[in-house]
Amino acid sequence: MFYSFCAMKFTIRTILTTLLALAGLLLTVSTPAQIAATTQPAAKPTVAEALAFIDNAEKELAAISVTAARASWVEETYITDDTIALVAEANDRAIARQTALIYEARKFDGLPLPPDAARKMLLLKLGIGLPAPSDPALRAETTQKAAELDAAYGRGKYCPGAPGDRSSSPGLDDNPDHCLGIDDINIKMTQSHDPKELAALWTGWHAVGKPMRGDYARLAELSNQGARELGFADTGALWRSQYDMTPDEFSADIERLWKQVEPLYLELHTYVRHKLIEKYGDAARRPDGMIPGHLLGNMWAQEWGNIYDEVAPPSGPMPYDLGAILKARNTDSKQLVQFGEGFYKSLGFDALPDTFWQRSMLSHPRDREVVCHPSAWDIDNQRDVRIKACFQPTADDFVTVHHELGHNYYQMAYRHQPFFFQNGANDGFHEAIGDAIALNVTPDYLKKLGLIDQVPPPSADIPLLLHTALDKIAFLPFGLLIDKWRWQVYSGQVTPEHYNSAWWALREKYQGIAPPVERSEADFDPGAKYHIPGNVPYMRYFLARVYQFQFYRAMCQAAGYKGPLNRCSVYGSKEAGARLNSMLSLGASKPWPEALKAMTGTDKADASAIVEYFQPLIDWLKEQNKGEKEGWTLPADPLK
C-alpha cells in the first residue's frame, strides 16, 4: 500500500533537511487546488496560523492512520473481495485528506517557522508512498488497483500437476491440495537439489506475475499523475526525495555505496558459480558466466544461505544446522518470536505487550487466504504493535523474527514523539535495526540459549562467515536493482512493452543471474516479487545491508567488545541497548545523518563495517578463486 516500510501503518514519511532543500526539489506545477488558492484574495498567513495548521493536520492524520491500518490488517490477514474493497476505500479517504492538507500547507511556504514545525511541514509534503490523482474517480481507481495487486500476490499459487502445470489464483474447481503458496514453495526450494524440480518451482511461481502486468502499468501511470500533481517529476523522484538530500544526490550516494561493496559480490559470485558447476555440471554452466537463478536456494536468488551445503569447502561444513535444531525441538511460531523478544529484553527493552501475542498472525491460518510476506505493524501509534507472518522453524525465519521485531521495537521507542516524527530516521534505518540485532546470533549466543552444546573453534569462522555472506553479500545487487527498475518504469525510460526485458537486463547486469527458462514480454517477473505488487519501495533494503553493519559495530563498541567483529554478540549488554535506543527514540525528528551520528559517531553511510566484518572471508575467497575468471558477459541491451 502507501505505507512507509514493511512495518505497516498509514504514516507520514521521511524526510528532507530544510525547506530550502524542498524548494529546490519541487517543480513548479500548478495543481487545481493551487490555482484555486491563488485566485482567492487572502491575507498573508501568519506563523501562528501555520503552527495551528500543522498541529491540526498531525492530529487528523494520526486518527486517519489508525483506521487505514486496521483496514489493511484485516485485508492482509483475510483476503476477500470485501476486505479488498474496504482497504481500498480506507486508503482512498486517507490519501484524499493527506493530499488536501499538502496543498493547504503550501500557503505557509516561506514563513520562518521553528525547526520542528518546519520539519513537520516537510514530512507532510513528502509522506505519500502511493500518490494518487486528485480526481476522485482516478484516485479510487488507484487505491482499488493497489489493493487488488497486493491481494493477487497474497492469493498467488502454483498448482503442480494441474492442467498445464499452471499457476493461478485458484478458482472454485481447483483442488487446493495441489496448490502451493509461496511459503510452501520456499521450503521446497530450499530442500530440493534437482535442477528440473527447481526450474519447475521457479517457473510455476513466476507465472503468478503474468496477469498483473496491465494493472501494474495502469497503477504506475495513475501514481505518476498523482506525483506530478504534487510537484514531483514522477513517483520514483518522490521516493528518492525522502533522504535529506536531492533525488540526484541520493542516486549518487547509492552508487558510491555500491562501488564499495561490488568487489565483495564479485568474489562471492565467482566462488559460488564454480562450486555449483562442480555439483550440477551443465545445469549450472553458462557460456556467459552467469548463474542460473533457480539453483541458489531462494525463489529470487536474493539470499543464498540455503545452499551452504552445496558450496561448502570440503574442510568446512557448517558447525550446526539451526533449522534442523529448531525442527527437532518442534519450535512453534510463538517460541520462535520469544527467542527474538528475549534478545531485545536482554538489551533493556520492554517485553512485548500482551496485545502483541493476542493480535499477531504468526502462522499460516488454515482456512483463509492471507499475505504471507512478513511484516511488522504499528496499528495505533502507541503500543498495539503486531507481526504478520507465516513462520516456519527455519534458520531464515529465525533471522526474520529478529528483523520484524526490530520494526516493532523501533515503533515502540519513538511512540513518545509527535505523530509526524513517529517513523524511522529513514526507511533504511527501519529495515536495518532487526538485522543488526540478528548479526548477534553467534555460536556463543546460541549456546547461551541452549540451542547448541558447544561453541565451534575459531577454524569454523570461515564456514560461518561464508554462510552469512551468502545471505548478506549476495543480497546487495538484488537490493539495488529492484528500485532501479521501478525508477526506470516511473520515469518512462522503460515502457510496459519492455517491462520484463528491462527487469532481466538489470538482474543480469548487477546480479549475474539468468532465468532458468527463456522469458519474454508474455511474462511479468517483477510481479512475482512481493514488493512490486505490494508497492513497497526497495532501496531501503540495500541501504539497510550497509547500515546494519555500522549499527552492529557501534553496539559492539558500546558493549566494550574488542575481538574480531564477526564474533561479537552484545546479548545482555545494557550499554549496547542504550546506544541503540539513543537513535531509535529520535524517530524521524532529526535528519538521518544526525540519528546515525547519535548511534555510530559518524554522519555518513559507509561500507567499511561490512568490509571489516567479512575481511577474513574475502581474503579466503580470493585464494579459492585463483585462476577463475571473474564476472560475466552481458547480452546486447534490448533497449538500444
Q: Which residues bind Zn ion (CB under 5 A)?
A: 6, 431
CB 7 → Zn ion: shortest distance, Å? 6
Helix H or strand E segment including 405: helix 395-413
CB of 6 to ligand X8Z, least distance (A): 2
Q: How far is the CB of 291 from ligand X8Z (least distance, A)?
A: 19
Comparing every residue's Cβ against ligand X8Z, the nearest one is: 6
User: Closer CB to ligand X8Z, residue 157 or residue 403?
Assistant: 403
Nearby residues of 210 by Cβ (< 8 Å), 6 or more positions away = 167, 522, 523, 524, 527
Kindly state the cell numbers that stand for 124.
507532510
Considering only 168, 333, 400, 589, the residue that binds ligand X8Z (CB under 6 A) is 400
Query: Given the complex with ligand X8Z, which of 126 and 536 has the nearer CB atom?
Result: 536
Query: Using CB distances below 5 to 8 A depending on partner kind, what does residue 297 bind out of Zn ion, ligand X8Z, none?
Result: none
Residue 375, interface with ligand X8Z (CB under 6 A)?
yes
Least distance between Zn ion and beta carbon 455 (Å): 30
Cell of 243: 533522504
Question: Of 291 and 476, which CB lies nearer to ligand X8Z in the complex structure?
Answer: 476
Report 260-319 residues binding ligand X8Z (CB under 6 A).
Answer: 302
- In angstroms, the Cα distances linking 38 to 43, 44, 103, 208 are 12, 12, 12, 48
**Which is closer to ligand X8Z, CB of 541 or CB of 620?**
541
CA–CA separation, 383 and 355 (whole Å): 8
**Rule CB under 6 A: is residue 374 a binding residue for ligand X8Z?**
yes
Among residues 318, 327, 320, the alpha carbon closest in space to that of 469 is found at 318
Nearer to ligand X8Z, 427 or 461 (CB): 427
Closest distance of CB 305 from ligand X8Z, Å: 12
Q: Which of 6, 64, 446, 474 binds ligand X8Z (CB under 6 A)?
A: 6
Nearer to Zn ion, 6 or 290 (CB): 6
Four-CA torsion 349, 353, 356, 358, nearest 10 degrees = 150
Q: What angle do CA 607, 608, 611 make, to 5 degrees?
A: 90
Complete DSSP assignment for 384-401: -EEEE----SSHHHHHHH
Helix 574-584 to helix 539-558 angle (10° resolution) is 140
Contact predicate 562/397, CB 8 Å: no
Total residues belonging to the chain: 640
Closer Cβ to ligand X8Z, 323 or 434, answer by number: 434
Binding partner of 296, given Zn ion, ligand X8Z, none, CB within 5-8 angstroms per partner class: none
| Cβ-based nearer residue to ligand X8Z, 6 or 347 | 6
The owner of cell 513537520 is: 120
d(CA 6, CA 411): 12
Angstrom distance (rounded) from CA 389 to CA 577: 26
Least distance in angstroms from the C-beta of 339 to ligand X8Z: 17
Query: Of Zn ion, ligand X8Z, none, which one sits near residue 375, judging by CB under 5 to 8 A according to partner kind?
Result: ligand X8Z
Pick one of 429, 541, 547, 551: the residue that binds ligand X8Z (CB under 6 A).
Answer: 541
Name the residue whose CB lies closest to Zn ion: 6
* Binding residues vs ligand X8Z (CB under 6 A): 6, 302, 374-375, 400, 403, 541
